[in-house]
Amino acid sequence: MAGMTSSTAVVVGAGTMGRGIAQVLVESGWRVHMVDPMGDAAAQGQEAVQAAWARAVARGRLDAAHAAALEASLDAAPDYERVEGPPAWVIEAASEDLELKRRLLAELESRWPAGTRLASNTSSLTIASLQGGLRHPERLGGLHFFNPVPRMALVEVIASPATGAAWTAAAFDLARGLGKTPVPAPDRPGFLVNRVMRPFYAEALRLVEEEVAPPEVVDAVMEGAGFPMGPFRLMDLVGIDVNLAVTAAVYAQTFGEDRYRPHPRQQMMRDLGWLGRKRGRGFYDYRPSTDLPTEAPPAPPPEAPRSGGLVAGSPAFQQAWRRLSLPGRLSDEPPEPGLLRFWVDPDPGAEPPRPAGPATLLVVDGTRQHVEPLAARWGRPVVGFDPALVLAGAKVMTVSGYQGPEVAQIFAPLRVVPVEDAIGHVFSRIVCSLVDEALRFRPRIDPAVVDRAVELGVNHPRGPHAWLGRLGAERVAAVLAALRLVGGERYRPSEDLLRAAEREPHASLAERGGI
């Protein structure tokens, strides 16, 4: 298939993604026609792109003359009448609806000759499912951009078995020419990043539904662990309807795999029209007329405990504890009689540590066990915490069980966030599920490629394989095993995760919680 030498591209769809794709094409030297037959959508899309350039001029990031030249290279219309000659590329960015996309792509195939390459920006529908109605499926592949397109570096390049090799090579060249980082993604429901990312949203929604923590607490914990946006802020940015459509598409295409089940809360919000930032209301309220509560001023850091404490755990955990400048001495130091006020034990145990006297506050892993039964059994206050937040170097700490003032002293300077006494707390439940999803991914992909794609596609501070190395496979598997007891088979640790745990020193099945 010979490619067009034209520098003209057509973007079909003037929504958030279509206008973003059109913007980066124009900024890279393309003449772009943005087409959308829905009312004045095309004109609104063009105005939005022009407004972005105007803001860049006002901030001194773009020359006014250059902005005018860019505007001259972007045409928007409800039809194709002003497209002169066959374009080199036609990129479909319509709604995530299989039948709509199939009809549209069949029309685009018949409109232009074989040299015009077709691409879909679908975020979840397989390319093979879109090629079924085409006479020449080799002309079509996937170019999955990420929102917001001008800022996000990643483009997933998806080729089905029917996609031509020439298309794939040209797609990589196009993405690089736009200043993006192309990553090959298999033609699977959700491709690579959206497939791996499903637990980031699904577990957050379940945490709220199960009343473990409200959305603002979930977001605060994840952002305190280094994520630029918590799952609820991110869903509001992407669009709750878009996120729901992707989840529903992956769920349907995997024949009802429970890990991808859509959540009723998202459906309810879509029905109400609470779609996130674009509608002024989602999980948060963005309407300017609404009196939003102001953030409370930061509380002064609590004083360090006036008497000593011991910190148990692996060398990696103790080193991480020290890096965070948390109080207490390492457990290999002998306690001073009468001065042991707290004992931090990141590993679950049946009995309290021997050096702990009756006045010692016990701080135990609350992600693999409930602490309220321990408090009743031991007849003393017990604090549950998330050791993974220490290993992650986070700025927050979730705690369950006892909530006395000395808890904040033990974890100073971290911000202490109370949550319900629930397995996994917040961070461990979400991140451990995310890690396991990446390990389940088939076909197997170089872990460095997976991590780079996730970091670029959604700005995560680490990819799932890097989180696995930081937290340890034994801990990830143990948290999921504990979650499985209360949440069912969707938390069953994958075989690859169990193998990784078995390779770690001193990680027996019994130590992983009886998997």
Tell me which residues are annotated as active site: 123, 144, 156, 194
Question: Do 35 and 11 meet the contact criterion of CB atoms below 8 Å apart?
Answer: yes
Peptide bond into 37 cis (omega under 30): no
Orientation angle between helical segments 231-238 and 198-209, nearest 10 degrees: 110
Question: Do 235 and 264 meet the contact criterion of CB atoms below 8 Å apart?
Answer: no
Question: Do 510 and 476 meet the contact criterion of CB atoms below 8 Å apart?
Answer: no
Cβ neighbourhood burial of 156 (10 Å; 0-12, 13-18, 19+): buried
Could you tell me the two tokens for 289? Answer: 């007329």
3-state DSSP of 19-39:
HHHHHHHHHCCCEEEEECCCC
Distance CA 515, CA 500 (A): 14
Question: Do 327 and 309 meet the contact criterion of CB atoms below 8 Å apart?
Answer: yes
Distance CA 366, CA 389 (A): 12
Orientation angle between helical segments 16-27 and 41-58, nearest 10 degrees: 50
Cβ neighbourhood burial of 467 (10 Å; 0-12, 13-18, 19+): buried
Task: Tell me the DSSP string of 403-433.
Answer: --HHHHHHHTTSEEEE--S-TTTTHHHHHHH
Q: Which residues pair with 267 in a beta bridge?
A: none
Measured from the Cβ of residue 67, the count of other Cβ atoms closer than 10 Å reads: 16
Q: Which residue has the tokens 């772009």?
A: 32
Task: Tell me the DSSP string of 110-128.
Answer: HHS-TTSEEEE--SSS-HH
**For residue 181, what are the CA distances in angstroms to 31, 51, 166, 234?**
22, 26, 19, 22
Helix (DSSP H) and strand (DSSP E) numbers for the chain: 21, 15
- Spatial neighbors of 507 by CB under 8 A, at least 6 apart, are 473, 474, 501
- Spatial neighbors of 468 by CB under 8 A, at least 6 apart, are 435, 439, 476, 500
Phi, psi of 195, deg, nearest 5: -70, -50
Could you tell me the two tokens for 386? Answer: 């998330």
Could you tell me the two tokens for 73? Answer: 């290279």
Local structure of residue 281 (DSSP, 8 states): B
Could you tell me the two tokens for 458? Answer: 């959604």
Q: Which residue has the tokens 């904040």?
A: 408
Helix, strand, coil distribution of the chain in percent, nearest 5: 45, 15, 45
